[in-house]
Structures are given as C-alpha cells and as structure tokens.
C-alpha cells in the first residue's frame, strides 16, 4: 500500500470511529447523552436482578459496591449485606472509583433508577440498579417461593436460589406467595421471624 493509501485508510478509520462515537462533544460531568442512556435503558443494560446481586455478593465480585440510596434511618433498620449508605443528596460528593461496579438500590427501585441516571451523567460507566428495589431482594432472595406444583426444570433452578437465600439467612418456601405488602412491612415480618 502506498503511503497515500495508508493516509486514506487512516482517514476512513477515524471517520468510522467518529460515526460510532456520534458526537464531537466530549462527555462532560453533569451532561447527559440522552441517546446513549435511552438506548441502554431500552436494552435493559441498566439494571440487575436481586438474584444477580446476591450471586455477586456471595462470590465476592471484585470492585463490587452495593449502594443504598435511602435515608440513614431506613438503612439502619435493614440493608442488604455489604451495602454502604450513600443517601441520594450525597451522591455527587461520593468519590467512587471508575473501576468499581456500583449497584444501587432503594425501597421500590425508583430512587435507585434516578440515581443511576445521575451517576452516569457524572461519568461512571459501571453502574447498575436493582429494578425491584429492596422489595425484590426480600421476595427473591430472602423469602423466595416456589409454587407447589412447579415444573421440574423450575425446581432445578430454584435449588440455586435456595442456596443463595440460605447464605443470606433467608427462608425459602414452597407454596403460594403471600400478597405483596409494602417493603417496610415485609422487613418487619422478616425480622419477627428471627434468625
């Protein structure tokens, strides 16, 4: 290839990269690339399930930081094991490492989802949230339920869930799931059961 053709290939390469990157505006703290975030949300790349999180905690995933964005009182009442409390208003002051994997959670998941957008706008890329919030943790990890007449393959996967649940001191049961109640009530019920 002649030197000029090399230049041409180089220019083409830079142009393809430019098309991939999309905008010449550098990512600035506090600015949100709506397109990019919307795409991630639509592709469900923004959240994790409680089971995922439980596995990560149990396997001591490197760089994992579980962040509880609720107020301190709620955190003290009950929180996911290994979680740190960084209430929403303090998020911008928190100095997380770019290599940390942050998983945010709140009671129902809405605040955590909002915190996800905020942290992404600050430039953190490895951020996820628990979509079902603490409620999902309680339902799927602490009190997982398998219907009495479930299919065999479901019972197989449930074995892994049982393993996780018992690791965290939960109570897996068989039968019908009780009707959904507010998270705080579920926490109270769980506490009353004791260890």
Does 6 bind other proteins (CB under 8 A)? Our answer is no
In angstroms, rounded to a whole number, what is the distance separating the alpha carbons of residues 157 and 9?
51
Does 98 bind other proteins (CB under 8 A)? Our answer is no
Does 95 bind other proteins (CB under 8 A)? Our answer is no
Among 8, 147, 178, 182, binds other proteins (CB under 8 A): 8
Does 4 bind other proteins (CB under 8 A)? Our answer is yes
Residues 6+ apart with CB under 8 A from 194: none
Interactions with other proteins, residue window 25-84 (CB under 8 A): 25-26
Does 23 bind other proteins (CB under 8 A)? Our answer is yes
Which range of residues in 20-28, 37-45, 141-149, 169-177 is near other proteins by CB under 8 A? 20-28
Environment class of 6 (CB within 10 Å of its CB; exposed 0-12, middle 13-18, buried 19+) = exposed
In angstroms, rounded to a whole number, what is the distance separating the alpha carbons of residues 69 and 74?
10
In angstroms, rounded to a whole number, what is the distance separating the alpha carbons of residues 100 and 93?
16
- The CA-atom distances, in angstroms, between 96 and each of 32, 91, 109 are 19, 10, 21
Smallest separation (angstroms) from other proteins to the CB of 82: 36
Does 24 bind other proteins (CB under 8 A)? Our answer is yes
User: Which is closer to other proteins, CB of 18 or CB of 180?
Assistant: 18
DSSP secondary structure letter of residue 179:
P
Which range of residues in 19-27, 49-57, 65-73, 125-133 is near other proteins by CB under 8 A? 19-27
If DSSP codes are grouped into helix, strand and coil, which group holds residue 85? strand
Residues that bind other proteins (CB under 8 A): 4, 7-8, 11-12, 14-26
């Amino acid at each position: 290839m002649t030197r000029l053709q090399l230049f041409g290939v180089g220019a083409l390469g830079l142009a393809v990269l430019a098309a991939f990157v999309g905008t010449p505006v550098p990512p600035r703290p506090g600015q949100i690339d709506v397109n990019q975030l919307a795409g991630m949300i639509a592709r469900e790349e923004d959240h994790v399930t409680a089971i995922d999180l439980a596995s990560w905690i149990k396997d001591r995933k490197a760089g994992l930081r579980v962040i509880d964005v609720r107020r301190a009182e709620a955190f003290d009442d009950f929180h996911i094991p290994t979680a740190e409390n960084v209430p929403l208003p303090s998020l911008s002051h928190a100095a997380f490492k770019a290599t940390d994997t942050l998983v945010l959670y709140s009671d129902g998941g809405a605040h955590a989802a909002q915190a996800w957008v905020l942290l992404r706008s600050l430039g953190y890329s490895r951020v996820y949230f628990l979509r079902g919030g603490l409620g999902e943790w309680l339902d799927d990890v602490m009190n997982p339920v398998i219907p009495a007449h479930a299919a065999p393959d479901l019972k197989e996967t449930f074995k892994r869930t049982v393993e996780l649940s018992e690791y965290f001191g939960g109570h897996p049961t068989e039968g019908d799931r009780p009707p959904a109640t507010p998270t705080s009530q579920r926490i109270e019920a769980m506490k009353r059961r004791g260890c």
